[in-house]
Amino acid sequence: MHIHILGICGTFMGGVAALARAAGHKVTGCDLNVYPPMSTQLKELNIDIHEGIDADQLSINPDRVIVGNAMSRGSDVVEAMLNNRHRYTSGPEWLAEQVLHDRHIIAVSGTHGKTTTASMLAWILEDAGLEPGFLIGGVPINFGTSARFGKSKFFVVEADEYDTAFFDKRAKFVHYMPQTLVLNNLEFDHADIYKDIDAILWQFHQLLRMVPGNGSIIIKEADKNLKSLLDMGCWTPVQTFGAWNTQNNTDWDAKFSDKIEQKIGIRSPVGEVAETRWQMGGYHNLDNAMAAVAAAVSVGVKFEHAVDALSRFEGVKRRMEQTATVAEITIYDDFAHHPTAIEATIASMRQRYMGHRIVVAIELRSNTMKLGVHNNTLANSLKEADLICMYRPEDMSEDLAASLESLNSKLMMHTDYDELVSDMSKKVLSGDKIVFMSNGDFGSARQKLSTLLQKNHAI
């Protein structure tokens, strides 16, 4: 079968493409924005990508069109698809019908940490010899791909609440029907499709309705919105996780065993304790690790093996991925684009690299950011950085500047990528840790800065 995917370079749709290719289908696709790591992954799979969303591309007459949720009515390719009555479906629906229907589905959901937790979990299962399938919204370094079929009954899926397609406005995750569900946290996000937190809670409530009574739900105990979610109705056994302290009543807890966060200890519901060294850092990743270990143990992995596997977990591309070092200046690529994630990333860097300046380059790119929903919390999330270089898009809310006044002289605002890079190159110092934060390609600013610093250092 020839499958043509609209919006193929999105992290989810790129994973669908990889699974379809592995199933033996001919796969092509199109997108407006084509950039790594997904474009690289698709190229390695010999999947042809048409850059653009014009109608002419459908002259190849595919057997089925899979429509990504970035595609909307009015775009040429969508109108041609409808007018010519091509057979079409959404990515989540295709995934559910073609891949998930006979598997044990372990879904990882919540506002933050889905990609890292799902990657940790897939790796723990792999390290235990279970050869899981997975579809993750990023590229786990241990696997080098965002998706694979796997050879066992287990399938790990990153389950997000964004809408399915222009013709199906339900959250993507309602298609998956997991037996095991991880809920890391829950905050207001995706303001372009949800009017408030209650609208998001309602979608998550639909997800909980689909988890069977003999399944398992693993949830962060301290999250008040998740508590509200459970109060709406839950028919599945629940295990909780949280920080290790004497007042803790959670089933799973964990702590750092050293000041630079390179050694962790996790305690199981029966009181067993296992420790390991790892390459990660930050309390947000400690939460991710607890959730991943709990989910793995729930499907039969031995507790000690699950924790030990974390020592061999190499992280995820674009999640605090170190990409260059020039003149003792270290550059990282990170996906953080929500104030909570931004604050957690800076705090982790501050703890791990004491005595170094933390420089943040941030692109305000998400629809929620552009609408100004996070203006009241953005400055506070950035305050612990030593220098902030911010790219402001033209369609950003007008009251952004006023909300950032407390950052004073440490903030440099730009509306041009090249000017931002040039300014940064003059301000960074030897020993700095520079983190580029964006859920897009940031106008290749990170790559341009690395090249410019190398050139200046050579001179």
Is there a domain that residue 169 lies in?
yes
CATH number of the domain residue 14 falls in: 3.40.50.720
Tell me, what's the pLDDT at 371? 81
Q: Which of 264, 286, 312 is the last residue of a domain?
A: 312
Predicted pLDDT of residue 459: 56
Give a yes or no: residue 234 inside a domain.
yes
- Specify if 17 maps to a domain: yes
> Same domain for 302 and 447?
no
pLDDT for res 24: 94
pLDDT of residue 105: 98
Is 96 contained in some domain?
no
Residues 289 and 215 in one domain: yes
Contact 153, 330 (CB under 8 A): no
* 81 and 130 co-located in one domain: no
Q: Are 173 and 86 contained in the same domain?
A: no
* Nearest by Cα to 152 from 102, 109, 116: 102
Whether residue 396 lies inside any domain: the answer is: yes
**C-beta separation of 313 from 279 below 8 A:** yes
Rg (CA), the chain: 22
CA-based nearest residue to 64, from 10, 2, 18: 2
Q: According to the model, what pLDDT value does residue 423 have? A: 95
Among 283, 312, 341, residue at a domain's last position:
312
- Cα–Cα distances (Å) from 273 to 267, 304, 311, 326, in that order, read 4, 8, 15, 41
- Which pTM does this prediction carry? 0.90
CATH number, domain at 246? 3.40.1190.10
Does 351 lie in the same domain as 213?
no
Q: Domain check: are 413 and 436 in the same one?
A: yes
| 40 plus 120 within the same structural domain | no
- Check whether residue 73 and residue 135 sit in a common domain: no
Assess whether 79 and 130 both reside in one domain: no
Given 312, 341, 359, which residue is the final one in a domain? 312
pLDDT tens string 395-430: 887 788 889 999 989 999 999 999 999 999 999 999
- Per the structure, the count of domains in the chain is 3
CATH code for position 446: 3.90.190.20
What pLDDT score was predicted for residue 248? 66
Please say whether the beta carbons of 183 and 219 come within 8 A. yes
- Which structural domain, as residue segments, surrounds residue 26? 2-91
Domain identity same for 135 and 79? no
- Full pLDDT tens readout for the chain, 459 residues: 999 999 999 889 999 999 999 999 999 999 998 777 678 889 899 999 999 999 999 999 999 999 999 999 999 999 999 999 999 999 999 999 999 999 999 999 999 999 999 999 999 999 999 999 999 998 899 999 899 999 999 999 999 999 999 999 999 999 999 999 999 999 988 888 889 999 999 999 999 999 999 999 999 998 999 999 999 999 999 999 998 765 668 999 999 998 889 999 999 999 999 999 999 989 999 999 999 999 999 999 999 999 999 999 999 988 989 999 998 999 999 988 889 999 999 999 998 899 999 999 999 988 888 888 888 899 999 999 999 999 998 888 778 888 999 998 999 999 999 999 999 999 999 999 999 999 888 999 999 999 999 988 765
Pair 246, 304 in one domain: yes
Closest among 99, 146, 153 to 119, alpha carbons compared = 146
**What's the pLDDT at 323?**
94
Do both 344 and 423 map to the same domain?
yes
Residue at 97 is within a domain: no
Cis peptide before 37 (omega within 30 of 0): yes
